[in-house]
A and B are shown apart, each in its own frame.
Chain A
Amino acid sequence: MAEPEKIAIDVNSIENTEQIIGQLMDNYSDEVLHLVYSYVKDRTTAEDLTQEIFIKCYEKLGQFNNKSSIKTWLYRIAINHCKDYLRSWHYRKIKFSDKIWDYIPSKSKHVEEEIISKNVADSLTSAIMDLPIKYSEVVFLYYYEELSLSNISKITGVNSNTLKTRLKQARKLLKEKMKKEV
């Protein structure tokens, strides 16, 4: 497999930025989208946010210093963007109105949502998605993105030992959940 981490980043050449973002999208956009989905759990929102994330990368590219890999940098931007979104007034408002709809019996749930939830049903995925974010985040990055704890620490700004504890706790929670379902 090629090593996508080795994308040459020359922030001094501005004409290059569009190309760099193109490369980043070609290499990582699906991964970022999945990552974002694990936070927001809605397909369209995840796509919108991913789009915004790459635009943010374009705006911030000048601040990228080669100290971390471009992938680490990209993930950090992505995660921060997701968390900002989850904190936002807009999201909380929407979420509230969604909850209201939950109490009103209706068969016309969004088709897309149905596809995803059908996909996710009966699987570990839904169990992970249901975990509190601080757990699902570390599980996702560790098992799905296969990042090392030290790398996850760099991305999330959370201490490695804390991450280790959370991972342990998350495994426990998941096991309990799976047992219940069987």
Chain B
Amino acid sequence: MGDPFSNLKNSLSKDFEDLSFSEERKNAVRETIRRKQNHLELQYWKVETLKNILDSLQEEAKHGYDISTQLFRKNESSFKSNEGQIYILLHLLENKKIITSKWIEGKKYYSLTTKGKKYAASREHPDSKQLNSLKNFIEEASL
């Protein structure tokens, strides 16, 4: 007889027979991935939130903390328990070239790009139609 451990695989396989990565576990992985991926999509965020951020930048460039206090005053709740999330969204908006940023004295200031202004300028009538058009706009920008 050659290697006495050659049937080790059979022995192990038998012992591991009922040790299987369940469908529920796989789905848990998929769900986590989807959640992580969603944060990187504009569609994930509420249109109201996007609108509030663009609005807050209309007058002047602001840094992240300023934006978040302003949102807080508007009763924006998206970042309530997780303030760091706003930076994910700001980064995303920057990537989509809706806002741009500049470092001034150690702080990152965000401002609207021409693209961003284009929408923010038409905010005077914030009815549902407007919100829809923002959504369309964002989707367009996401392409």
Contacts and interface: CB of A to CB of B under 8 A. Distances in A.
A59 B30 CA distance: 13
Interface of B: 4-6, 8-9, 11-22, 25-26, 28-30, 32-34, 36-37
Contacts of B5: 124, 139, 143, 171, 174
A18 B30 contact: yes
Contacts of A159: none
B21 A30 contact: yes
A54 B31 CA distance: 12
B29 A54 contact: yes
Q: For chain B, what secondary structure do more than half of its interface residues adopt (helix, strand, loop), or is it mixed? A: helix
Contacts, number: 86
B8 A25 contact: no
Contacts of B8: 124, 128, 139, 143-144
A interface: dominant SS: helix
Contacts of B12: 34, 124-125, 128, 140, 143-144
Given A18-B30, A43-B19, A143 B25 contact: no
A29 B11 contact: no
A37 B4 CA distance: 24
B16 A37 contact: yes
Contact of B21 (A33, A55, A143): A33
Nearest to B17: A119
Interface in A9-52: 17-18, 21-22, 25, 29-30, 32-34, 37, 43, 46-47, 50-51
Contacts of B9: 143-144, 146
B21 A21 contact: no
Contacts of A101: none
Interface string A102-146: 000000000000011001100111001000000000011001101
Interface of A: 17-18, 21-22, 25, 29-30, 32-34, 37, 43, 46-47, 50-51, 54-55, 58-59, 115-116, 119-120, 123-125, 128, 139-140, 143-144, 146, 171, 174-175
Given A21-B33, A171-B5, 12 more contacts: A18-B33, A18-B37, A21-B29, A25-B26, A29-B21, A51-B25, A55-B29, A59-B36, A125-B11, A125-B12, A143-B12, A144-B9
Nearest to A38: B12
